[in-house]
Amino acid sequence: MPEEFLLPVVMTIAVAVLGSFALGTQWNVRKGDQVLRWLTEGLPLIGERTTYRWLGSSVLELKIAKANAPFRNAETLVVFEPRDILLLWWWSRLRGRRDLMIFRAQLIAAPGFELEIFDPTAWTTHQSERDLKNKQWTQFDLPANPTLRAYHSAKADPTLIPRLVNLATHLDGTLARISVHRDLPNLEIHWRLPDLKTKSAHDPFVKLQQIAAEILRR
């Protein structure tokens, strides 16, 4: 390509990349502002004081250092699609990535068992089933929720699994994962963001309290 044409082409590509980065970042920031307003209806149930910060342009982190029982502390991560990088955004959407909300917490007492419930098609759980089979955990069938897989450790009460699924699938988003572990975080739940305009954040955080209480009763 002649040099007189090369510079305009390079400049056009650079402007397109920088412009898409700026627009994608602004898009995620606007969505982050919407999520923050939405969360004000639910987070006070977990704790009175929440601090937040952006991790890059795609992750919003909210932390509660002193949480209400049955939690000791908690954090909520809102992981947005990478809209600031067009090729990565396109590739991630092909792999099923959507805006995701992750709740992690330390409970007031460590559970005496471990379990994993997950959607194997979710982008955060692609390796989960293989890893759990390597651990030789016991699989539990969920005929009422055929899209989900469930595995538990030897000390877990499998009758708890349907109860947790019932609570978690009413979080007004699509459930991707429930994780209960003796190590931190004791509880971790992933679900796709619901429609923020039609759903309240109050009920999901009530359900999170109920899920934690169910775990501690076993």
Rounded CA gap, 215 and 109, in Å? 10
CA-wise closest residue to 183 among 116, 132, 130, 107:
107
- pLDDT digit string (tens) for 126-149? 889 999 989 999 999 999 899 999
What pLDDT does 57 receive?
83
pLDDT band of 96, cuts 50, 70, 90: confident
What pLDDT does 53 receive?
95
- pLDDT digit string (tens) for 18-70? 555 566 677 778 898 999 999 999 999 999 999 999 998 889 999 999 999 99
What pLDDT does 8 receive?
58
Rounded CA gap, 72 and 64, in Å? 9
Host domain of residue 21: 3-217
CA angle, 28 then 57 then 183, to 5°: 110
Residues β-bridged to residue 100: 79, 192
The answer to whether 100 and 191 are in contact (CB under 8 A) is yes
What pLDDT does 16 receive?
47
Exposure class string for 1-17: b at 16+ Cβ within 10 A, else e: eeeeeeeeeeeeeeeee
Overall domain count for the chain: 1
- Please give the structure tokens belonging to residue 44: 């006070």
pLDDT band of 161, cuts 50, 70, 90: very high
Mean pLDDT of 155-171: 89
The residues, any chain, with a CB within 8 Å of residue 173's CB and separated by 6 or more, are 101, 191, 192, 193, 194, 204
Which amino acid appears at position 14 of this protein? Answer: A
Q: What is the percent of the chain with per-residue pLDDT over 90, rounded to a whole number?
A: 58
pLDDT band of 195, cuts 50, 70, 90: confident
- Please give the structure tokens belonging to residue 124: 């955060």
CA 87 centroid distance within chain: 22
- Please give the structure tokens belonging to residue 17: 């990349």
The answer to whether 177 and 118 are in contact (CB under 8 A) is yes
More confident residue, 5 or 153: 153
Q: What is the pTM of this model?
A: 0.87
pLDDT at 3 over 80: no
Cβ count within 10 A of residue 60: 24
